Each structure stands twice: as structure tokens, then as C-alpha cells.
Amino acid sequence: MSQFRQDFIRFAIQQEVLCFGEFQTKAGRLSPYFFNAGLFNDGSALRELCQFYAQAVLASEVPFDMLFGPAYKGIPLAAGTAIALAEQGCNVPYCFNRKEAKDHGEGGTTVGAKLQGRVLIIDDVISAGTSVRESIELIRAAGATPCGVVIALDRMERGQGELSATQEVQRNYGLPVVSIATLDDLLGYLQGQGGMMQNLQAVQSYRDRYGVKND
């Protein structure tokens, strides 16, 4: 496991963004862990989170020209990742959308740089894939090309069929989905933590029952 992935898992646990226990998912499953990216909610946490996003983007080697953040959670993530990338010598423009078109002032449905070239979508997670689909449609309508999606954690969990939400995006749109960490990375981290054997066993059982095969 890449060091930054392990560091991200540790950071998420320390911030209590990644918690262990018994949580009911939207699908009605009882999950032994819960990840809520919305709890990265102060300046220091957001700064460190976006540094992880930047590392994942650069490690992926996906070619891109700019970043796009879907409203609402993707807005600070795209802006913060653009800053983190600039600090690493990769200065790129970014853009985000409004939920409702503005009919005065500059107008339009987007704020920031003009959508053009290869656009990398920055979001927190992929659940039903609605945000990704809407982002792809908006980017293509502007004459630009969506080139990938970057998320914080890939749960690697089956949806209604045999594929996970990220695999469905890859299949339906032909786009790479890059994650800072995956469920397998979480398992790898827990295996190295002597005091978390109970959590390891619970997460592994959940992975065995609901997880998808590795690509």
C-alpha cells in the first residue's frame, strides 16, 4: 500500500471521519464502518485532505488540464486540491457549478475558469453516481472532455448488481476513477494495527459478503 494511502486512513480515523461500529447504509446493509467526508470541516483538516487528493491525482498519472467540483461537496474539494497541486508545482484552473443557473451578473451555471480541455472531476464519494453523471453532461455541453473522477474512499461494494458504483462509472462512461484509498487499503491498514483485530475481522467479513472483485 502506498504510504500516502496508509497516512490517509490514519488521518481519517484520527479526525473521526472514519468510524467503526454498526451503521446502516442506504442499501439497508449493516456496515461495520462509516466514512463521512463532511466531517473534514475545519481549515487544517481541509488543507491536509486536499494534499491527499493532490497526491492521488499526481500518482494516477491521468492527463488533465483543469479541475471541476460538483456542487456542493465538490466545491471546496476542487478549490483546495487546486491549491495543493499548485504547491507541488502543478498550477491548473478549476471550476464548479451552481445548482441553479444565475440569470443576472455574469450569469450561467458555472463559477471559475472556463470549462475546456480535459477536465478532472473532484468529489467526495460515488454513491448512486448521479453527481458524476450530471457533471459529465455539464462538461460535455460546454465542449470540454471529462477525463476522470477522483474520490476520497472507494467502498468497493456491490450496488444492485455485481458492480460497485465506481465500476459502473468506469463501465458507463469509460472514465478512470481514482481514489485516495479503497476498502482494501483500509483492510491493509487494520492488519498492521494490533489493537484493531475486532474491527479488522468485521470489515473483512463485510468485504467478503458485499465486496466486488478487484479490477
Q: Are 60 and 149 a contacting pair, CB within 8 Å?
A: no
Catalytic residues: 102, 104
Pick from 85, 136, 95: nearest CA to 115: 95
Write the single-letter amino acid at 93: P
147: Cα separation from own chain's centroid:
15
Kindly list the distances between the CA atom of residue 205 and the CA atoms of 13, 31, 32, in Å, as whole numbers in the listed order: 20, 10, 9
* CA–CA gap between residue 44 and residue 49 (Å, rounded): 9
Peptide bond into 72 cis (omega under 30): yes
Q: Helices 130-141 and 165-173, interaxial angle, to 10°? A: 30
* Residue matched to cell numbers 471529462: 146
